[in-house]
Structure 1
Amino acid sequence: MAFRKIRHVGDADHRIVTAAVAAAEQHTSGEIVTIVSDMSDDYDDAALVWASVITFLALSVIAFMPDFYLGLLYGLFGGWDHDWTTSEYLALLFLFLGGKWLGSWALMQWTPLRLALTPKHIKMRRVRARAIELFRVGTESKTTGRTGVLLYLSMREHRAEIVADAAIAGKVAPEVWGDAMIALVDHVREGRPGEGMAEAVRQMGVVLAEHFPKGSENPNELPDRLIEI
């Protein structure tokens, strides 16, 4: 799956988030990784489904009002004097439905519309799946004590996820991160993604410091900087 390289946040946001990560890690052996993305999925399957649904609805309307559409057909092709065969009817019907499907699919290529028509639960699952995928590539088992945790923000879906390594997941229940998630999403909706991620990082740092306080040896094993993909 290909994702466009888009600048999601400004330089000031990068500095804010990077500083927040560095500050949070001063009090914990946990390592926080922050990633921001434009979208977590292209949702091309949603375009296919909606194009098919619209086409089926068009066929249903034709079946419900055949006389109306036959009148349009005769008007377009020279009146009632033409003797239409069954094959001609079917050919025109398939051409119409094919054009309806292609037109609907083309309309669904407009990303805001495709996102708006994708059910919320599907977007939630795709964002979560993308976060887990990125976590496995760049964070999982990358620290000595398996204390890495990923904060992932998907801008267009207004969704965020926290995925933690084994040691953290064994001590911190997922619902503990709830306040950090709420703070982040609220800031994103108000157009302040950098501040939202920084606040989420701060709250994550408090949780991590409680369960994984900083030890005498605490190497910085994962990048503090905000990563854009």
Structure 2
Amino acid sequence: MIDDGMRDRIAAAIQRAEQGTRAELVAAIAQRADSYRSNALAAALAAALIAGLAVWALLPWPGPVEMLAAELVAFLLVYVLIAFTPFGVRVVPAARKRRMASRLARLVFLERGLASTEEHCGVLFFVSAAEHYVEIIADRGIDRAVEPGAWEKIVAAFTAAVKKGEVEQGFIAAIDTLGALLAKHYPADGSNPNRIPDRLIEL
């Protein structure tokens, strides 16, 4: 999804955006927000049970070895499929996917120091690819300054671009728009150190 050229161009967009503002802007993308091991375990146990029942029902004289082998194979196949492949995310309930992606976004916001800027003007543009989740998290200073609905419009424009296959264009447009908003409310004054590297964070 992200190649070297795209990384460089997105990094350049972040750098341009931050040159005009004393706010901190971070863009991050996660391949998936969680491994969903609990979902994988539950599905694998169910698959093992079904496999054992199938062997008992279909074979004329099933023994414990045959049943155990079928259960083990079914358990391992389903667990690996859900925990380690993109297909697994599809069987996870939508509410859980949103919850885990939102949780990861907030962890990134805190870990990158966006909640500890002096003027409370840190902003995170967060994407979780497997969950198709996009969110902008802003500290209270910039969140109060920006007009209502501004973040949602940026997210909607990015989502529309991704649906058309324009991932890079969507990222850069979102960063440019965020940079303009931050420059409007927190213009650069030469006193703000760039504490966070200007690059796309990949998780």
Structure 1 and Structure 2 fold alike (TM over 0.5):
yes
1:52: Cα distance to partner?
3.6
Matched-pair contact (CA < 8 Å) for 2:115–2:139: yes
Counterparts of 2:136 and 2:158, CA distance in 1: 11
Residue 50 of structure 2 corresponds to residue 76 of structure 1: no
The 1:102–1:141 alpha-carbon spacing in structure 2 relative to 1, beyond 3 Å, is closer
Counterparts of 2:201 and 2:65, CA distance in 1: 53
Corresponding letter in the other structure for 2:143:
A
Matched-pair contact (CA < 8 Å) for 1:31–1:147: yes
Matched-pair contact (CA < 8 Å) for 1:127–1:161: no
Corresponding letter in the other structure for 1:224:
D
The aligned counterpart of 1:19 is 12
Q: Secondary structure at the match of 2:145?
A: coil
Corresponding letter in the other structure for 1:76:
W
1:176 to 147, 150, 163: 150
Identity rate, percent: 30
1:132: Cα distance to partner?
0.8
RMSD of equivalent CA atoms = 3.2
The aligned counterpart of 1:82 is none
1:129: Cα distance to partner?
0.8
Counterparts of 1:45 and 1:190, CA distance in 2: 34
Q: Which runs of 5+ in 2 are unaligned?
A: none
1:203: Cα distance to partner?
1.7
The aligned counterpart of 2:91 is 117
1:97: Cα distance to partner?
8.1
Corresponding letter in the other structure for 2:170:
G
The 1:107–1:11 alpha-carbon spacing in structure 2 relative to 1, beyond 3 Å, is closer
Render the CA deviation track for 1:103-123: whole Å, top value 9, x for unaligned: 533443451221111122211
Render the CA deviation track for 1:13-60: whole Å, top value 9, x for unaligned: 12322222233234332221112222221111221122244456x39x
Counterparts of 2:67 and 2:144, CA distance in 1: 57
Rg comparison, structure with higher value: 1
Q: Which runs of 5+ in 1 are unaligned?
A: 1-7, 63-67, 78-87
Matched-pair contact (CA < 8 Å) for 2:109–2:115: no
Matches within 5 A, 1:146-157: 146-157=120-131
1:127: Cα distance to partner?
1.2
Residue 197 of structure 2 corresponds to residue 204 of structure 1: no
Size of the alignment, in residue pairs? Answer: 200
Moved more, 111-120 or 178-187: 178-187
The 1:183–1:215 alpha-carbon spacing in structure 2 relative to 1, beyond 3 Å, is same
1:169: Cα distance to partner?
3.1
Q: Secondary structure at the match of 1:220?
A: coil
Q: Secondary structure at the match of 1:153?
A: strand
Residue 9 of structure 2 corresponds to residue 35 of structure 1: no
Using the size of structure 2 for normalisation, the TM-score is 0.78
1:172: Cα distance to partner?
4.0
